[in-house]
Structure 1
Amino acid sequence: MNTEIDHDSNILKHMRADHEALQSVLASMSEVYFPPAAIKTLKRFSTVQAASWVGVSRAHFNNHADELGLTPELVGKSKQRFYTLADINAVRQHLAQKTTSDEKARLYDPRRRGDEELAVISCVNFKGGSAKSTTAVHFAQYLALKGYRVLLADLDPQGSTSGMMGIVPERVTHDQSLYAAIRYDNPRPMSEVAQKTYFENLDIVPSGLWVADWEFDAPRVTTSTMEEEREMRLRLAELENSLASGNLPRSEFERLSQEVDSLRVKMRGMSLQRLYFLRLQAALTDVQDQYDVVVCDTAPNLGYLSNAAIGASNHLLLTIQPQMLDCESMAQYLMTSITHQEQYEAAIKRALGSEYITDKTLHYLITRFNTASTPQNDVSKILRTYLKNVLDHSMVNTTAVEEARTRQLTLYESDRNQFNPKTYDRAIEFMNQANAEIEKIILRGWGRL
């Protein structure tokens, strides 16, 4: 078969033309919405909104804001107050410090305390279009608005989550992407890769095309490490046999003993490198004291990156549309996940011990739910009947979310007056209900519920 092509085939011409056309229009749109020097900003919040996020009355919020000497923006003839998220957090912490009730202090300022471990939650599924990115970004923003310190990790090379947070994936450099923190050659500390965003208390580790390289690095390093480990094991067995002979001079015995100790240390380090699914978990130790929650968005597959996110997680949130095709896809996902999890646990037990296996919870969130659709309601009932831990609240399909995305915004960043008010209020209500239920998963993990 002749593999040399002197001229483009029709399909290559077609693909190249479409690629150039699409790239051109996307570049034009990017210049409008996100020019190179553009910096995304967060709106201010009315007193009603600010007070609701803290959980107090408007008057109570304004009184404490005045005590702190905050200077909200005054709008209109009535001089309605609008606060920044930094103002909201200042009031939140002020209230927590003043109250004598530990319970109220935690409601005002919910950040983790004492022996509460860093919570890592990953949005996962085989299938694209199940609203993983939308769920991850809205939940991360919800947590930040509630007062938590949040890191949003984008593990999808498509970079949808990064884009929703105002970062153009195509402009993310090698050292700026999540790849830099998990690569095998000269990795950067996660604390240096994490970026501040326009959302106070919400940082991001962005994605981009570079992140896809890890899908090739992980199996390559795993294979080469296994071969190296095999040679070390043979050498270790040889040394142990020599030491067991009992016929060695003291100096030789000590030399061989030191080599045995050195080999065991190296083999342990290589085991950690071989266990690629622990790579993200290890990288996160660098920032575990800086955040309360890490929210991971994964690619629609069970590749190396997705498995690294699962390996690092305490909680898995499987997003699913209430349609039969999605249910069939999810069944395949669960079957594959069972095999992977069994292999991971066995590998960790052999290399490190069972105490290194991270316990996880699994919950299901029904997304893009059309409440008026009889077939979707039927599928939703099936899911709730036969699966454990399906969340009571769904991510309801609403035009408000899509309208917000056309403006490069989330619901939490959008102004109500940009929408039909009833549509917006309904969308925010459903979004908050779902996110509050996901929040409870984390609180239960900390033993608060």
Structure 2
Amino acid sequence: MPSVQKRRHAPFPTPEIGIEEIGQLEEKAYAVIESLRATAFAPGREKQLGLRFSITAAANMVGRSATAIRDAEKSGRLPPPAVDERNRRTGYTLSDINRMRAYFGTLPWRAPDEEPVILAIQNFKGGVGKSTIACHTAQYLALQGYRVCLIDCDSQASSTTMFGLNPDLDLHQEDTLHPFLMLGGQQTLQYALRKTYWDGIWLIPANLALYNAEYELAAQVHGNPLLFNRLREGIDTVKDAFDVIIIDPPPALGMISLSVLRAANAMIIPIPPSTVDFSSTTHFLSMLREALEILDSYGIRAQYKFLKAIASKVQDNKSTHTEISRLMAAVFGDFMIDTKLKDSAEIDNANAKLMTVYELPAPQTSRETFNRCKAYLNAANREIEILIRKTWPSHHEELRQMGVI
């Protein structure tokens, strides 16, 4: 019987992926981002805040009656809101609200001799919601009338993007923390402060340059541990202008994260209620303690006015989320924020438009879903606001009247 030889097929050519192909992907991705910006921002791809408030909402925010506001406008002590082509009021902007607060003396600023709260939204694990919480908390506080600075320390620059900048097209290395963190660099952070389209919020942006800073700092810190103080020293040069400084750190333990731990005087730890995330947060606490011990060994002591964990990305329809949320409450006790941040399609839809829930012009799913999502965000941020105000003696009398302390 004749032998049967197997026919050998030529190997199927597999294209190799190199620098050129990756560059093409990069260009396509940036084109999509630019398209999103062109759609979401107006005019001229410059992001603006479209929120407008009725006189009833303005009265609630300012803490005065609608009649008092109208009287101040009639007498010329406050400007009336803008009108459209039909001479109808278009509503008050956040700038208008803060002008009213200044006139009526209801701005909630700290006293000049009180320290601003420097709040790190910290967890060394990625994907836990740090940037989402940082941006929503910054905007919530701005809506209440506080002066807020948001410092983006993450080279992924999610917070920077959310505030209308394309990190690697609109920004240079000199626009970020990088020049200040380097030895012999900038001596104040004033150069990096950018006023945002949100009245009351200033941003120190980030881009990929901060990734390089990790290695450069590591090379410089040998024999010079005071570099861990550098971010804190920079914040000291701008802090007098703010009530709250929020830091969005990188999702890893490195030189910048250690600098954030030193710079902050308060901390919120986001924890999604999954077994993996709870376990990683347990490791985070171990790493946090060890990191603080490292700083302490250099004579650099980090202490916090408050430290709280918050359950993030919670899905009530998942039994494991419910069980682990209970476990977290039992383990962390008084160290937990009472309100859970629920996973919501409104947050996802807002992110797709490079927005937060607070700046959505209308519900993206249903009004019920939108209102529920906003209620959870407001409740969680209200707890954080109370924690902040408790650090300022000038607020204690009002907090006592509210029954909070």
Please tell me the TM-score bracket, short chain as reference: 0.7 to 0.9
C-alpha deviation, 1:201, in angstroms:
1.3
Letter in 1 for 2:108: P
Alignment partner, residue 366 of structure 2: 420
CA–CA distance in structure 2, aligned partners of residues 397 and 61 of structure 1: 38
Shift, 1:40, TM fit: 0.7
Equivalent residue for 2:34, pick from 31, 34, 58? 31
Q: Does the aligned pair in 2 maintain the 1:322–1:367 contact within 8 Å?
A: yes
TM superposition shift of 1:140: 0.6
The yes-or-no answer on 1:197 pairing with 2:196 is yes
Write the deviation string for residues 384-420 of structure 1: whole angstroms up to 9, x where unpaired. Answer: 1111410001211111111111111111111125552
SS at match of 1:45: coil
* Alignment TM-score, normalising by the size of structure 2: 0.86
Q: Which residue of 1 aligns with 2:383?
A: 437
Shift of 1:78: 10
CA contact (8 A) 1:180 1:193 kept: no
Counterpart of 1:294 in structure 2 is 245
Cα distance between partner residues in 2 of 1:79 and 1:55:
25
SS of match in other structure, 2:218:
helix
TM-score by length of 1: 0.78
Match status 1:93 vs 2:102: yes
Task: Measure how far apart 1:34 and its partner are.
Answer: 2.9
**438-447 or 44-53, larger mean C-alpha shift:** 44-53
The residue aligned with 2:349 is 403
Retained in 2: the 8 A contact 1:313–1:360? no
* In 2: Cα distance, 1:121 partner to 1:17 partner: 42
Q: Which residue of 1 aligns with 2:229?
A: 278
1:64–1:91 contact (8 Å) kept in structure 2: no
Q: Structure 1 69/156 Cα, relative in aligned 2: closer, same or farther at 3 Å? A: same
Alpha carbons 2:239, 2:245 under 8 Å: kept: no
1:190-229 equivalent positions in 2, closer than 5 A: 190-223=189-222, 226=223
Structure 1 contact 123–136 (Cα < 8 Å) conserved:
yes
How far apart are 1:114 and its partner, in Å? 3.6
Paired letter, 2:245: V
Tell me which of 315, 327, 331 is aligned to 1:382.
Answer: 327
- In the alignment, which of 110, 113, 117 is matched to residue 112 of structure 1? 110
Distance 1:379 1:436 in 2: 24
1:337-374 deviation digits (Å, cap 9, x = unpaired):
1111112123216xxxxxx6544421001111112322
The percentage of counterpart residues that share the same residue type is 26
With over 3 angstroms needed to count, the CA separation of the structure-2 counterparts of 1:395 and 1:57, relative to structure 1, is farther
Q: Secondary structure at the match of 1:13?
A: coil
The amino acid that maps onto 2:168 is: E
Cα deviation, residue 439, structure 1: 1.1
Aligned counterpart for 2:62 among listed residues 54, 69, 73 = 54
> In 2, distance between residues paired with 1:44 and 1:399?
21
Cα deviation, residue 118, structure 1? 1.8
- Provide structure 2 residue ranges, at least 5 long, that are not aligned to the other structure: 1-12, 397-404
Work out which of the residue numbers 297, 316, 323 in structure 2 matches 1:371: 316
State the Cα distance separating 1:376 from its structure 2 match.
0.6
Deviations 1:42-86 (A, max 9, x none): 113221443343344545544445553323134698945411111
Tell me: CA distance 1:373–1:51, structure 2 relative to 1, closer, same or farther (3 Å). farther
Residues 141 and 364 (structure 1 numbering): CA distance in 2 closer, same or farther, change over 3 Å? same
Gap runs ≥5 in structure 1: 1-9, 97-107, 227-272, 350-355
More helix per residue: 1
Query: How far 1:295 sits from its partner (Å)?
Result: 0.3
Q: Please report how far the alpha carbon of residue 433 of structure 1 lies from its aligned counterpart in structure 2 after TM superposition.
A: 0.6
In structure 2, distance between residues paired with 1:302 and 1:16: 29
Q: Pick from 162, 165, 186 the counterpart of residue 163 of structure 2.
A: 165
Q: Deviation at 1:176?
A: 0.6
The amino acid that maps onto 1:33 is L
Cα gap change, 1:402 to 1:56, in 2 (>3 Å): farther
The residue type paired with residue 368 of structure 1 is K
* Counterpart residue number, 2:134: 136
Q: How many pairs were matched up? A: 375
Alignment check: 8 A CA contact 2:265 2:302 kept:
no
SS at match of 2:269: strand
Structure 1, 273-282 or 397-406: larger mean CA deviation? 273-282
Alignment check: 8 A CA contact 1:65 1:91 kept: no
Note closer, same or farther for the CA distance 1:139–1:210 as it changes in structure 2 (3 Å cut): same
The answer to whether 1:393 aligns with 2:402 is no
Describe the superposition over 1:256-282 as per-residue Cα deviations: whole angstroms up to 9, x where unpaired: xxxxxxxxxxxxxxxxx5223211101
Equivalent residue number for residue 276 of structure 2 = 325
Change (3 A) 1:446 1:13: farther
Match of 1:307 in 2: 258
C-alpha distance in 2 between matches for 1:435 and 1:366: 13
Task: Kindly provide the amino acid, as one letter, of the partner of residue 58 in structure 2.
Answer: A
Partner AA of 1:383 in structure 2 = M
1:18, 1:56 → 2: CA distance?
60
In structure 1, how many angstroms separate the alpha carbons of the residues matched to 2:73 and 2:252? 47
CA 383–62 in structure 1, closer or farther in 2 if over 3 Å, else same: farther
The 8 Å contact of residues 81 and 89 in structure 2, kept in 1 or not, is answered as no
Shift, 1:12, TM fit: 9.3
CA distance in 2, matches of 1:424, 1:50: 21
- Aligned residue among 345, 358, 362 for 2:296: 345
Tell whether the 8 Å contact from 2:173 to 2:179 is kept in structure 1 after alignment.
yes
Contact 1:75 1:82 in 2 (8 A): no
**Alpha carbons of 1:183 and 1:11: their partners in 2 closer, same or farther (altered >3 Å)?**
farther
The equivalent residue for 2:8 is: none
What's the Cα RMSD here?
2.4
